[in-house]
Every structure is written in C-alpha cells, then in structure tokens.
Amino acid sequence: MGHVLVSGATGGIGKALVNALVGAGHQVTAVGRDVGRLDVPGIEVDLAEPESLAAAAGETSDAAAAMAEVDALVYCAAIAPIAAVADTDPATWQRILAVNVASAAELVRQALPALRRSRGHVVFVNAAPGMTGVARWSGYVGSKAALRELADSLRVEEAPHGVRVTTVYPGGTATELLREVRNTFGRPYDPDLFIQPHTLAEMICWVLNTPRDAYVCEVSVLPSPR
C-alpha cells in the first residue's frame, strides 16, 4: 500500500479515484484549491498558479511530510473551456496551459525526490483517445497534447530512477465536465451512456497496482457500445 497524491480530487473522476484508493488501503493526499471539503488530507493550491506550488507543498508540516513520502502521483485536474481561436484571449490560454500542463510538470518536479526514493509511479489523465484538430477546443486539446509530451519525456528521463509514467486516455466519462462540454457543443448528454467515474477510477487503481516487473505506459478507455 502506498501514498498517492491526487490533483483534481474534487472533480467527478478525481473524487471516485480518491474513494477507490482509500478503499484499496492507500493513503491519499489531495492537491487543489478546495480540498478542505474532502475527507483526506490536502495541499491547498490554485493550479492556475504553478509558481505557488512549491510554497504550498512546504507550507505546513503535513504538506511537507506528504510530499516527502509519495509513492504515486495522479494528475487529474483540468479545465476545458470551449472557444474558437478567434475568441480566445491570452489570459485564457495561460490559464488552460497552467492548470492542464504547467502545474502537472511543477507538481511532478516537487514530488520527484520522493518518487525516485520510492521508485514510484506518475499517472497523467489526458483527453479522450485520438483527439486532434477539434474546432473550438484548441486550448484543451493543445494542452493535452503538451501533457502527452510531458509524460513521454518524463518516462525516458526517469526510467534510470525506476519511476514509471502512464498516460490514461479516458473516453466520455459521466461527470459535470462532460455534461457541460456536450451542452456547449450542442450534443445530447445521457450519463448512462458513458463510462461511470468509479469504473475509470478502478482502472486507474489497477494501473497503479500492477506487479513491479511490468506496467501499463498508456491506456485508452472507451465506453462499451450500448
């Protein structure tokens, strides 16, 4: 059993993941701006400001202790504003890239000494499989392309330290984010037709719990055909 840092822990997938991890006997520390409302310890930080992560991670002795003994990190936080390039201002670009990528890199950087000690595991929750060239979604899709590259470089860099890196590509998963996205794109939303958050959470737990001699470096998860 290990200690897992989870960002996006207050979201649809993140909350289910925290429950699944706690249920499986893991210790969990949530990282985010409103983690006080969860039943697990938290590191309070706005991921739109990656530069504030270092201070937040050392702010209390509990936060510092959590960062010092991490076995795994799951980066699940994201925002997904929908707008054409013509209508996206620089502040929006900066916010998307900060929450979806730069804070992922910075959280990993803060946790790396512990992850190297534990020969740990980093899991990045990316976008739906195969997403590219989506009109009105360049910020989200572009940020997730950068997150994939972050994962791929990190995997090579950290292999000598025994750190494993996995990207999970979830298909539509029944959360508030998916409801909002489908609404904005003018598409119907029936939560029963999508992956249930607890199912995806169980799959991420499985990724974290594979035996030491092998691991899953990428996994695409699709809703079953109905």
Residue type, 170: P
* Rounded distance between C-alpha atoms, residue 112 and residue 165, angstroms: 12
Task: Say how many residues touch ligand NAP, by CB under 6 A.
Answer: 29
Tell me: does residue 77 bind ligand NAP (CB under 6 A): yes
With contacts defined by CB under 6 A, name the span among 10-18, 53-61, 63-71, 111-119 that binds ligand NAP: 10-18
- Indicate the burial class of 224 (C-beta count within 10 angstroms; 0-12, 13-18, 19 or more): exposed
- Order of strands across the sheet with 42-44? 42-44, 27-32, 3-7, 72-75, 121-125, 164-170, 218-221
* Binding residue (CB under 6 A) for ligand NAP from 56, 78, 102, 108: 78
Looking at residues 14 to 33 of the shown chain, list those that interact with ligand NAP (rule: CB under 6 A). 14, 32-33
Tell me: does residue 177 bind ligand NAP (CB under 6 A): yes
* Binding residue (CB under 6 A) for ligand NAP from 24, 54, 68, 79: 79
124 forms beta bridges with: 75, 167
Which residue number, 159 or 206, has a Cβ lying nearer to ligand NAP? 206
* Residue whose beta carbon is closest to ligand NAP: 11
DSSP designation for 195: B
Looking at residues 111 to 170 of the shown chain, list those that interact with ligand NAP (rule: CB under 6 A). 125, 127-128, 170
Which residue number, 70 or 174, has a Cβ lying nearer to ligand NAP? 174
> Using CB under 6 A as the criterion, what x/- string covers residues 57-76 for binding ligand NAP?
-------------------x
Query: Shortest distance, CB of residue 9 to ligand NAP, whole angstroms?
Result: 6
* Rounded distance between C-alpha atoms, residue 137 and residue 119, angstroms: 36
Give residue 62's Cα distance to chain centre.
Answer: 22
* Binding residue (CB under 6 A) for ligand NAP from 42, 164, 175, 201: 175
* Binding residue (CB under 6 A) for ligand NAP from 6, 13, 97, 101: 13
**Cβ distance 29 to 3 under 8 Å?**
yes
3-state class (DSSP) for residue 99: helix
* Rounded distance between C-alpha atoms, residue 196 and residue 140, angstroms: 22
Residues that bind ligand NAP (CB under 6 A): 8-14, 32-34, 46-48, 76-80, 99, 125, 127-128, 170, 172-173, 175-178
